[in-house]
Amino acid sequence: MIRFEKVDKTYPGQGAPALDNVSVDVEKGEFVFLVGASGSGKSTFLRLVLRESRPTSGRVYVAGKEINRLAGWKVPRLRRQIGTVFQDFRLLPNKTVSENVAFALQVIGKGAGDIKTLVPETLEMVGLDGKGDRFPDELSGGEQQRVAIARAFVNRPMILIADEPTGNLDPATSVGIMKLLDRINRTGTTVVMATHDSSIVDQMRKRVIELEGGRVVRDQAQGAYGFQH
């Protein structure tokens, strides 16, 4: 589903590469944690998957296509197949919960009929049944992140990218969010999550890819946050 082949990324004017000879293969349906110190290259990795950034050398494939060679007009179609969730939720403050989720469908041209069924169905799935008419500032942080996940998942993307999704949440709320991401993963969606949250990684026991100075220094099935034999 996601394949990096000898990917280097050096930002203009930077001496050291943000990614250095990264080769990684993520299969359809996998759940992968990307870990590593601040500045190790996690966000750069995620940006390359979205083609928000391009490799300096090497190849990035998503769903079998080398995305650096994708024509510009095909990039929106690629991004539609990838849901994104961030630490800071990024909801539209002047739209209700339902409108935030519906908006993701409107921008990709879904009809009113589809929207009417998909939005409540997805809100129920993320545990926000009955909260569709609230505004983001009337919700807790955990609930706001659930809205963001509903918005990312409402068109059933192949891949869900989560960059520090529990970074602003307390430990108990974070566990609920991880249960939800796990549930989404069980529907067949490939999940790649960058995180500093060691207790979450240790509890989930999924594949762990660790970056250090832009290099993959560990790629371990059912791994922990720190290396353990």
Minimum separation from the CB atom of position 20 to ligand ATP (A): 10
Minimum separation from the CB atom of position 51 to ligand ATP (A): 15
Minimum separation from the CB atom of position 41 to ligand ATP (A): 4
Given the DSSP bridges, would you call strands 2-9 and 57-62 parallel, antiparallel or unpaired? antiparallel
Write down the H helix ranges in 23-96. Answer: 42-49, 75-80
Residues that bind ligand ATP (CB under 6 A): 11, 14, 18, 36, 38-44
Using the CB atoms, write b or e for 170-208: b if 16+ within 10 Å. Answer: eeebbbebbebbeebbeeebbbbbbbebeebbeebebbb
Minimum separation from the CB atom of position 115 to ligand ATP (A): 34
Minimum separation from the CB atom of position 100 to ligand ATP (A): 25
* Closer residue to ligand ATP (CB): 44 or 96: 44
Which residue type, as a one-letter code, is found at position 74? K
Minimum separation from the CB atom of position 11 to ligand ATP (A): 3
* Closer residue to ligand ATP (CB): 41 or 165: 41
* Closer residue to ligand ATP (CB): 18 or 104: 18
Report whether 119 contacts 147 (CB < 8 A).
Answer: no
The 3-state DSSP class for residue 160 equals: strand
* Closer residue to ligand ATP (CB): 86 or 153: 86
* Closer residue to ligand ATP (CB): 143 or 163: 163
Q: CA-CA distances (angstroms) from residue 223 to 3, 155, 203?
A: 20, 30, 10
The 3-state DSSP class for residue 203 equals: helix
Residue with tokens 């050291």: 16
Q: CA-CA distances (angstroms) from residue 106 to 91, 134, 150?
A: 15, 19, 14
Report whether 192 contacts 199 (CB < 8 A).
Answer: no
* Closer residue to ligand ATP (CB): 11 or 227: 11
Write down the H helix ranges in 107-197. Answer: 112-125, 141-153, 171-186
